[in-house]
Amino acid sequence: MIKAVLFDLDGTLVNSLEDLANATNFALSSMGFPCRELGEYNYLVGDGIPKLIERALPEGAKTPENSKKCLDIFMAYYREHYHDKTYAYKGVKELISALKQDGLKTAVVSNKAQEMAQKVAEKLFGNMFDAVAGKREGFAAKPDPALTLEIVRELGVKPDECALIGDSGMDMAAAVNGGLLPIGVLWGFRTEKELINNGAAYTVSSPDEILNIINLKNGRKK
């Protein structure tokens, strides 16, 4: 019985790639470094902003000093431009509403900083979620399941009563490591091969398919 559904944020619920790329490129160019192409960011994002900055800096410039300065510039810009181009993927709001109507709890578990995860979720989804968790002090990022399991505990359910929806291998690994049902989405930033290689029990091409899987697990026919 699935009682709660946890979602990754970037690449799963929202397409934020262009805003993340623009903020990173602004920081890079401000420091005199070359910008990255938008397509490169599919594999630069996903592990939190500090890791994004580290990956985006050119070889030979990946120093702690450069990383900190670039991160500071990024955050100042991103706080003002985090929703310029970011939008919710088609059908995800309807999915969340349907899950809640069926009595399931919903939450966001992201490697994004808590401040920005909260802002993006509130901007695009209002108060639809029972919990929104970004990176927290004392909790390792996905694929470590620690934060995921903390949110499971806060929701008052057990890991095997939860599904974790995500677009990356890290999401699938976090689900597997935590004992949740791993469902990979194909509309995000990574490939189906990556999802399957990291333990996805299902891969889906539309939010409707997620609802069908949950209904199947819960013995509902819709």
Q: Please give the positions annotated as active site.
A: 8
> What is the CB-side half-sphere exposure of residue 164 using CA atoms within 13 A?
34
∠ CA 135-166-179, rounded to 5°: 80
Distance separating alpha carbons of residues 146 and 152, to the nearest angstrom:
10
